[in-house]
């Protein structure tokens, strides 16, 4: 038997000093953004009580912009009690194309019209062409060729910021040569559970005339949002100081999403910038500073793997009131026979299933900001 009740929140948990749950079907409006949540109650077998049954609860939430929904479980957490030993996985092999001693011969230079020096650099970060055609134009950014492996707490603000600066410089060079490549994103896989085929930490970009599905959806929905001005600015102002608020680094505001699409998800919203190529070096460093703090927190929480995406607004991003967004999520730990954090809910039904509420994630991150 499954019972449902509806409560709509400014986005809080019970007992946090916010308004009490409201009746079924009612909505609480704050600054024109609606946060819809239903509390689901179930009866499940109690494994600790023999043949007994016990009450269990989960929360269903709908994203206020896209309508995509998520389920937040309660009870036993999947977060690991200890970090796995990564030494065997991350040991330096005889050959790694991203290590300094092999980089020049193992990777190709860019055409001179795109990068006069063949490669794009910032600090220790190096950007080279991607040998895989993920998009019309795609590049790989290596955080530091001198270090085969950097753990999460070693991805410092400077290391991450410099890599983002270099990747944005590449994006601008692409746009100068090919104005049709108007959809731009910078993304990262880290360790095999995230989809990475190489251990050496790196980023990847995609620039073309098509964009990515989620990227296009966010831009389209930002443009059709019925409220005044930018949805993202309204979201930041509504969430500022609340239970999902994390903090700011320069012109980037950080928060956890009401309806996450992945575990320990965090968003960075760039104020006043709609397209990735319009990020100046200072803002790219602001993004690096915030992302570095998030990754350090993941490390402290015994996590080892992550993905992030930094997405621009395409050709109509400004007109459609979009703002550049960085989204980061943790992935399953890299250990033998690990459990994937993607189930049929996510892959086939496009509905996230997470075990830590965004309010808890934000509370854990807030002291670092």
Predicted confidence at residue 65, as pLDDT, reads 97
Of 16-25, 64-73, 165-174, minimum mean pLDDT range = 16-25
Domain chopping of the chain, boundaries: 2-62, 87-368
* pLDDT score recorded for residue 17: 32
pLDDT of residue 61: 98
Q: How sure is the predictor about 21, in pLDDT bands with cuts at 50, 70 and 90?
A: very low
pLDDT band at 79 (very low <50, low <70, confident <90, very high): confident
For the domain spanning 87-368, the CATH number is 3.30.428.10
Determine the pLDDT at residue 319: 82
Q: What is the pLDDT of residues 132-183, one digit of tens each?
A: 999 999 999 999 999 999 999 999 999 999 999 999 999 999 999 999 999 9
Is residue 336 within 8 Å of residue 302, measured between CB atoms? no
pLDDT at 18 over 80: no
Between 75 and 235, whose confidence is greater?
Answer: 235
CA atoms of 229 and 209, how far apart (whole Å): 26
pLDDT digits (tens, 9 = 90+) for 240-270: 999 999 999 999 999 999 999 999 999 999 9
Cα–Cα distance for residue pair 117/170, rounded to 1 Å: 12
What is the per-residue pLDDT for 19?
33
**Mean pLDDT value across residues 56-66:** 96
What's the mean per-residue pLDDT of the chain? Answer: 90
Residue 32 — pLDDT band, cuts 50, 70, 90? confident
Mean pLDDT, residues 337-365 taken together: 93
**pLDDT attached to residue 25:** 36
In percent, how much of the chain has pLDDT > 90?
81
Tell me the pLDDT tens digit for each residue of 197-244: 999 999 999 999 999 999 999 999 999 999 989 999 999 999 999 999
Tens of pLDDT, residue by residue over 311-325, are 999 998 878 899 999
By the 8 A CB rule, do 67 and 218 touch?
Answer: no
Residue 15 has pLDDT above 60, yes or no: no
Q: pLDDT (tens digit, 9 = 90+) per residue, 95-109? A: 999 999 999 999 999
User: What pLDDT does residue 324 have?
Assistant: 98
What is the SS3 assignment for the chain? CEEEEEEECCCCCCCCCCCCCCCCCCCCEECCEECEEEEEEEEEECCCCCCCEEEEEEEEEECCCCCCEEEEECCCCCCCCCCCCCHHHHCCCCCCCCCHHHHHHHCCCCCCCCCCCCCEEECCEEEEECCCCCCCECEEEECCCCCCCCCHHHCCHHHHHHHHHHHHHHHHHHHHHCCCCCEEEEEEEECHHHCCCCCCCEEEEEEECCCCHHHHHHHHHHHHCCCCCCHHHHHHHHHCCCCCEEEEECCEEEECCCCCCCEEEEEEEECCCCCHHHCCHHHHHHHHHHHHHHHHHHHHCCCCEEEEEEECCCCCCCCCCCCCEEEEEEECCCCCCCCCCCCHHHHCCCCEEECCCHHHHHHHHHHHC
Higher-scoring residue by pLDDT: 335, 254: 254
26 or 300: which leads in pLDDT: 300
Give the least confident one: 178-192, 198-212, 344-358.
Answer: 344-358
Predicted pLDDT of residue 3: 32
């Amino acid at each position: 038997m499954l019972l449902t009740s509806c409560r709509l929140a400014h986005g809080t948990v019970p007992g946090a000093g916010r308004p009490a749950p409201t009746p079924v079907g009612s909505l609480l409006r704050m600054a024109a953004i609606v946060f819809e949540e239903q509390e689901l109650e179930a009866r499940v077998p109690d494994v600790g009580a023999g043949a007994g049954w016990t009450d269990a609860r989960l929360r269903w939430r709908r994203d206020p912009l896209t309508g995509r929904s998520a389920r937040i479980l309660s009870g036993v957490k999947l977060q690991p009690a200890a970090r796995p030993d990564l030494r065997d996985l991350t040991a330096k092999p005889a050959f790694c194309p991203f290590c300094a001693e092999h980089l020049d011969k193992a990777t190709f230079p860019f055409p001179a019209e795109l990068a006069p020096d063949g490669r794009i650099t910032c600090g220790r970060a190096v950007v080279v062409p991607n040998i895989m055609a993920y998009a019309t134009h795609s590049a790989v950014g290596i955080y530091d060729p001198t270090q085969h492996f950097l753990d999460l707490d070693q991805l410092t603000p400077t290391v991450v910021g410099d890599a983002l600066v270099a990747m944005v410089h590449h994006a601008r060079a692409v746009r100068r040569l090919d104005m049709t490549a108007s959809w731009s994103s910078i993304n990262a896989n880290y360790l095999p559970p995230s989809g990475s085929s190489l251990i050496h930490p790196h980023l990847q970009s995609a620039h073309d005339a098509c964009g990515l599905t989620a990227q296009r959806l966010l831009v389209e929905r930002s443009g059709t949002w019925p409220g005044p001005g930018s949805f993202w600015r309204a979201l930041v102002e509504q969430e500022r100081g609340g239970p999902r608020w994390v903090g700011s680094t320069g012109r980037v505001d950080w928060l956890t999403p009401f309806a996450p699409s992945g575990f320990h998800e965090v968003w960075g919203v760039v104020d006043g910038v709609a397209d990735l190529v319009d990020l100046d070096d200072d803002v790219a460093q602001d993004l690096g500073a915030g992302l570095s703090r998030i990754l350090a927190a993941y490390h402290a929480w015994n996590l080892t793997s992550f993905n992030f995406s930094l997405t621009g607004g395409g050709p109509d991003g400004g007109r459609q009131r979009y703002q550049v967004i960085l989204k980061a999520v943790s992935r399953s730990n890299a250990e033998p026979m690990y459990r994937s954090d993607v189930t049929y809910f996510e892959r086939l039904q496009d509905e996230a299933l997470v075990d830590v509420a965004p309010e808890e994630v934000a509370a854990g991150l807030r002291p670092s900001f």
